[in-house]
Structure 1
Amino acid sequence: MRSVCVYCGTRAGNEPRFEAVAEAAGRAVARAGYRLVFGGGTAGLTGIVARAAQAEGGRVLGVIPEFLIPSEGALDGIELRKVATLGARKSMMIAESDAFLALPGGTGTLEEVFDLLTRRNLGLENKPVAFVDTEFWAPFSTLLDHVVRYAFTDAALVDGLSFEPDVDAALAALEMAIKTRG
C-alpha cells in the first residue's frame, strides 16, 4: 500500500473526538510511510488530517475543484492538483489511492463513500475501505445491512468493508486487505 485516501468533512462537527480522530489519521498515515490523498482544502476535518500528515513529514496529495478554493482554501506545501469538477476530483482521488479511510463527515463525505461503493458494486473498483467508527458510522453500517437484507445489493459489498473503533485498527484492516488481495 502506497497511498491512502481519507474521506472526511470540511466541517469539524460538534464533538472534539472528530478533530482528534482526524489528527490521529493524518499522523498515522504519515508515520506508516503512506501518501495521504485528500480533498485539498484547509477547512474542517480535511484540513486537520492534511496538516497532521504534514507535521509528521508525510507526503500529501490534495485534489480540489478550482471553484472550491475560495471557500475551502488550498493547503500550502503539498502536491495540489486542481480539477474542474467534483466528479473529476472523485475519480482522481480514487485513481491515486490504494485504500480508503472514512472519517466523520457530511453530505460530501457520504457522496464520496457512496460513489466508491457504487464503483465496487459494479466491479469497477476493488480497493479496501475502512470506516473509523467513533460512534458515527454505526447507522451507516445498519443502513447497508438493511439494503442487503432487502436484496438491493449483494452481501459481498458489505462484507468487503471494515468498521473499526480507531485509526490504528482501521489502517491495520486496510493493510490486511491489501495483503490478502495480493
Structure 2
Amino acid sequence: MKRLAVYCGSATPTDPRYLELARDVGTALAEQGIGVVYGGGRLGLMGAVAGAALHKGGEVIGVIPEALVSAEVANYDCELTVVADMHERKAAFTRLSDGFLVLPGGVGTQDELWEAISWAQLGYHAKPVGLLNAFGFYDHLIAFNRHMAEVGFVRPAHTGLLMAETELDRLLDRMRAHQPARAIFHMKSEEL
C-alpha cells in the first residue's frame, strides 16, 4: 500500500483522545512510507492526520471541493487539488489511493465509508476498507453491519469487506493481506 485515503471528521471533539489518535495515525503512516490522501482541510481530525504526516515528512495529498476551501480551511502545505464537488472528491480518493482507512467521524465520514464498501461490492474497485474502531466508537456500526448480513442484505461474499480493528498495526496488516471479494458485476443472477 503506497497511499491510503483517510476518512475522518473535520470536527474536533471535546475528548482529546480523538485528536491524539489522528496525530498518531498520521505519524504512523508517514513512518511506514504510506502516503495520505484526505479531504484537504486543516480542521479537526483530518487536519491532525495531515499535519502529523507532513511533520514526519510523509506524502500528503488533499482533495477539497471549491465550496469547502474556506469552510474547512484548505491546507496549502500539502499537495492540494481543488475539485468541483463531493462526487469528484470521492472519485479522486478512489483513483489516488490503494485502500481506505476510516477513523472516527460524522455523517461525511460515514458517507465515504459506505460508498467505499458499496463500490467494492459492485466491483468499481477491489481495494481494502479498514475501520479503526478506537475507543469503541464504531461498536454499534460494526454490530449493524453484522445485522445487515444476518438478515440477508449483505451477500456472504461481501461480509468481510469491512475490516475493523482497534489497533492500527493490526488493521494495516489485514489491509495489506486483503483479497478482493467476488464483485456483483461478476456474479450470475442466481447468486444475487
Structure 2 counterpart of 1:34, which letter?
I
1:154 aligns with 2:155: yes
**Aligned equivalents of 1:172 and 1:141: distance in 2?**
19
Report if the CA contact (8 A) 1:24-1:167 is conserved.
Answer: no
The count of corresponding residues between Structure 1 and Structure 2 is: 179
2:103 is matched with which residue? 103
Give me the whole-angstrom Cα distance separating, in 1, the residues matched to 2:92 and 2:57: 23
What is the deviation of 1:143? 0.8
Q: Indicate if the aligned counterparts of 1:21 and 1:167 stay in contact, CA closer than 8 A.
A: no
- The Cα of 1:45 is off from its aligned counterpart by 0.2
CA distance in 2 between partners of 1:167 and 1:115 (Å): 22
**Secondary structure of 1:124 counterpart:** coil
Task: Give the corresponding residue for 1:75.
Answer: 75
C-alpha distance in 2, partners of 1:105/1:149? 26
User: What percentage of residue pairs aligned between the two structures are identical?
Assistant: 36
- The alignment partner of 2:70 has SS state of helix
Q: After the TM superposition, which residues 9-158 of structure 1 pair with which residues of structure 2 at under 5 Å, given as runs? A: 9-134=9-134, 135-158=136-159
Structure 2: gaps spanning 5 or more residues: 181-192
Residues in 2 aligned to 1:168 and 1:56: alpha-carbon distance in whole angstroms: 18
* Residues 112-157 of structure 1: CA deviation (Å, up to 9, x unaligned): 0111111112121220011111111111111111111111121332
Report what 2:168 is aligned to.
Answer: 167
1:155/1:16 Cα in 2 relative to 1: closer, same or farther (>3 Å)?
A: farther
Answer with 1 or 2: which has the greater Rg: 2
CA shift, 1:59, in A, is: 0.7
Contact 2:130 2:162 in 1 (8 A): yes
Structure 2 letter corresponding to 1:84: A
- TM-score scaled by structure 1? 0.94
| CA distance in 2 between partners of 1:20 and 1:158 (Å) | 31
Task: Say what the alpha-carbon RMSD is for the aligned residues.
Answer: 1.2
Instruction: Name the CA distance, whole Å, in 2 between partners of 1:14 and 1:154.
Output: 38
Measured after TM superposition, the shift of residue 103 of structure 1 is 0.2
